[in-house]
Structure 1
């Protein structure tokens, strides 16, 4: 992981690597779909991004999917990222650091910041993650890509190819770990949003602070 990687994101990406390719070590970055990387002329992490995208064109037919790397990037995903991210170039080596940066970009695109700030629930964030990584299950019954799916199933259940490879309680446990370092900050923020009896008097209790100049909740 790069030194700029948020701790919670690094934790979650390590979990995703293990879910997607069965391991989260250095070798995970060289994995292609169905672990067919042994047939490559050179390791995935020695290829340029452009070389990976070019090679992926034949992998769907040969291996069943174009998924590549620790986060099992699909060819369409990499092409989309190449168009979307200004700093990303075909000449860049598809090394672990680059894969991590792209993985973080996908996390952010799926609402990582909104999750850690409390704007969306773990269930909703889990659904978004399941839309990005087919090995992850949805955390509640929802409409999937092809049909209604149940908690513990892949968002893409029914496509004849994908299935969830981890249980939902494991996803939920990791998401709790992601939030754990933020808990004191969130509690402090919540305290600041509530009325303080020593400032507002005993009748106010723990209600919201009044808005200056407005009616609000009287003290």
Structure 2
């Protein structure tokens, strides 16, 4: 269980189950309540109780994170929950961490996901949390055909309109709490690599050719000076040269 997730867990508990780890769905009648506090029951016993009341209520959410029967049963089936463990605070917190991982926690902490994307994923797990950007939803029939499309606006519960759920916190507060858990990991996002240095420009061909021509001209000038000196040394030519 990660200590860095404690603020986010507390935030979820505050909105999902303000009465704590023994809270159950508020619409359950007294005669159908758990036989004893949830934290004193084993996971398998909580599942048995949920299964017993399932047909009579629209929700059998249990505990601080209001975990539904199908969700808890799937976690047991996949080895994410020990059926013989007490459904106490420690176990419930560990289950919450697993649910967050199932909704992209690792991708968020590694920097692959934005805070907005992770918030929207968490809102699909906990109905009291709002989506922070508009989310498109579709409803399909048994054959898989789309029968309805609609947009859940930012600030609303992902499950708004079902007559049972609504968002209980603001998008700004939600984003602030989610961003805070990543701020404790300042080096999670790889530092962008510096661009490789640009290679130096190769000397232009015209520069090399110019140097060759200049050298040839200098050599020619020296040759002519030597020839002229030799000619002017002759008696007849010396008169022309001004000797």
Provide TM-score, normalisation by structure 2: 0.70
Q: 1:152 to 1:145 in 2, by over 3 A?
A: farther
Counterpart-to-counterpart distance in 1, 2:9 and 2:138: 23
Among 14, 17, 38, the residue aligned to 2:10: 14
2:2 aligned with 1:5, yes or no? Answer: yes
| 1:8-47 aligned within 5 A | 9-22=5-18, 28-34=20-26, 39-47=33-41
Q: Rg bigger for which structure? A: 2
Structure 1 unaligned spans of 5+: 196-207, 211-216
| CA displacement 1:28-67 (0-9 Å, x = unmatched) | 1111111869743211000111110111124445554110
Counterpart-to-counterpart distance in 2, 1:12 and 1:91: 27
Counterpart-to-counterpart distance in 1, 2:160 and 2:78: 28
Structure 2 unaligned spans of 5+: 140-149, 200-243
Deviation at 1:109, TM superposition (A): 1.0
Question: What residue number does 1:134 align with?
Answer: 127
Deviation at 1:144, TM superposition (A): 3.5
Among 92, 99, 110, the residue aligned to 1:99: 92
Question: What residue number does 2:213 align with?
Answer: none
2:68 aligned with 1:65, yes or no? Answer: no
Q: Contact 1:19 / 1:166 at 8 angstroms: preserved in 2? A: yes
Deviation at 1:70, TM superposition (A): 0.7
For the aligned residues, what is the CA RMSD? Answer: 2.2
| CA displacement 1:74-107 (0-9 Å, x = unmatched) | 0000010011126x33222111111111111111
Counterpart-to-counterpart distance in 1, 2:170 and 2:115: 15
Moved more, 53-62 or 163-172: 53-62
Question: What residue number does 2:198 align with?
Answer: 218
Deviation at 1:21, TM superposition (A): 1.1
Q: 1:83 to 1:178 in 2, by over 3 A?
A: same
| 1:43-122 aligned within 5 A | 43-85=37-79, 88-122=81-115
2:145 aligned with 1:151, yes or no? Answer: no
Counterpart-to-counterpart distance in 1, 2:82 and 2:99: 17
1:94 is paired with a residue whose SS is: coil
Deviation at 1:145, TM superposition (A): 6.3
| CA displacement 1:183-212 (0-9 Å, x = unmatched) | 3x257x42xx342xxxxxxxxxxxx3x3xx
2:184 is paired with a residue whose SS is: helix
